[in-house]
Structure 1
């Protein structure tokens, strides 16, 4: 198996790049925020959150894709993550997103996730993608629907419990 380095993608306001050691604290802080990280499981121990962060690095090498760090061009700070996620037990690859504290309400998740989806279709050859959303996460549901995704079904996610699967339009419509 060869190791995969994440490409660098850009949008008007964002750089999407592979995870770096310098991003760990921002991601770990997010993962340990019980309210904000509900869709990612949330962690009470820093060591468990660190494992999730490094799991993403391994995910890139295993699959050739994973979560990009969203870097705000204006500040240079990590603003969140967005990418294609497909760990063991997932029904199929999904486009996911998280925006860190202080970066909400600016359209960053939409801008990043739309660019990630385009990359998955154009460069990776995906023909379909989903987004798996914890029931009650109204902000993620609105974002998925804004991207053109539609509710398909509820299923039992082996890591998260009940999850709603939203189907994105294919490359011809995206």
Structure 2
């Protein structure tokens, strides 16, 4: 059961990107409670706080008309992570974000999913620019942002994580 009626569903070579579903909750909560892996998402120590973040993403869809899509592995049908457009209160502008769950790192899944999410934001949502906001210690996400063609623009004070780096993605016309 999808929890967001207007979320798109599209496929890449290995993945299905779709709105959040009930069975996505446990893998996402597990990720959020891993303080090391979820540092860029705030890192939670209490299950009820992680559950609230899961519910926040569903509410984000209803407020903005976009949010994080669940990344489903086509081969297994299992949730592999999330990617999409995030813009909660206090964000400098909408951002393209991503994370893959344990066991899915190093397989190009975040790259494949983020490319598709960015294309969706540019084509279907009409965005003219995208950023990715990355905590400075997250070297893997910084490398992925650069692989996606994003360039460092500035540091800023993120209302949730403190010092953050903002990477600017190429505009849609630059990707053609």
- Shorter-chain TM-score tier: over 0.9
- Please list every run of 5 or more consecutive structure 1 residues that lacks an aligned counterpart in the other structure: none
What is the distance in 2 between the residues matched to 1:117 and 1:103? 20
1:72-104 deviation per Cα after TM superposition (whole angstroms, max 9, x unaligned): 000100000000000000000000000000000
Q: Partner of 1:160 in structure 2? A: 161
8 Å Cα contact 1:4-1:60 kept in structure 2: no
Q: RMSD value over aligned CA atoms? A: 0.8
TM-aligned CA deviation for residue 4 of structure 1 = 5.3
Q: Kindly state the Cα deviation for residue 136 of structure 1 after the two structures are TM-superposed.
A: 1.3
The equivalent residue for 1:39 is: 40
* TM-score after normalising by structure 2: 0.96
Q: 1:59 deviation in Å?
A: 0.4
Distance 1:126 1:74 in 2: 31
TM-score with structure 1 setting the length: 0.97
Following superposition, the deviation at residue 5 of structure 1 comes to: 2.1
> SS state of the match for residue 114, structure 1?
helix
Runs of 4+ in 1 over 3 A off after TM superposition: none
User: Within the alignment, does 1:146 sit opposite 2:156 as a pair?
Assistant: no
State the distance in 1 between where 2:116 and 2:163 align: 27
SS in 1 for 2:106: coil
Q: In 2, are the aligned partners of 1:71 and 1:78 still within 8 Å (CA)?
A: yes
